[in-house]
Amino acid sequence: MRAWLVGGAVIEGPQGVLLVQNRRRDGLVDWSPPGGVIDHGEELLDGLAREVVEETGLRVHAWEGPVYEIEAVAPGLGWTLRVEAHRATHVSGELLVDDPDGIVVDACYVPGARCDVHLANAQPWVREPLSEWLAERWLGTRRFSYRIDGASRHSLEVTRLP
């Protein structure tokens, strides 16, 4: 089983929350908060700040959180995923999409009430935690757990665990 550690950034601006559009290897497109895989030996917040700069051109100088954590197990795909999503409290720079990985192809601030439209094609473990945080704005950290069954993206059955 491959274990992924991912950092997610909740970045808010006057127009709403920042989402990035991702073009996946199979050609599918979805939206998510900026962030990505943390490199081996890299501190999570350092890796998250690196990912945000790479994907959006923005520099995050201060974080709070995590506001939510995600654990997902996908035995049929051979991986586990742990995500920590932190809220940016001090950001500078101009929004510029120039992802060296070629995955992020667009970015925009989306009003909270419209995020569900952008996140409609996102996997539940991406969509649900952010949507719930935007609706409730809880203090502290909330944990989300998922089991993912299936062997391909097109046939996944995702179960949210208690």
Give the chain as a DSSP string: -EEEEEEEEE-EETTEEEEEEEE-TTS-EEEE-SEEEPPTT--HHHHHHHHHHHHHS-EEEEEEEEEEEEEEEETTTTEEEEEEEEEEEEEES------TTS-EEEEEEE-GGGHHHHGGGS-HHHHHHHHHHHHH--SS-EEEEEEEE-SSGGG-EEEEE-
Helix or strand or coil: residue 77? coil
Question: Average of pLDDT values for 88-116?
Answer: 94
Given its phi and psi angles, is residue 105 left (phi above 0), alpha (psi -120 to 50 degrees) or beta?
alpha
pLDDT of 154 > 80? The answer is no
Q: What pLDDT was estimated at residue 31?
A: 96
Name the residue with higher pLDDT: 155 or 43. 43
Question: Average of pLDDT values for 139-151?
Answer: 96
pLDDT-derived band at 153, boundaries 50, 70, 90:
confident
pTM higher than the cut 0.75? yes
- The strand pairing partners of 160, in sequence order, are 146
Fold category of 2-161 in CATH: Nucleoside Triphosphate Pyrophosphohydrolase (3.90.79)
Percent share of the chain, pLDDT over 90: 89
Q: Structure tokens of 114?
A: 């419209």
The beta-strand segments (E) located in 38-114 are 59-74, 79-92, 104-110
**Would you tell me how many other CB atoms lie within 10 Å of the CB of residue 12?**
15
Query: Which DSSP letter does residue 140 get?
Result: S
pLDDT of 147 > 80? The answer is yes
Q: What pLDDT was estimated at residue 28?
A: 86
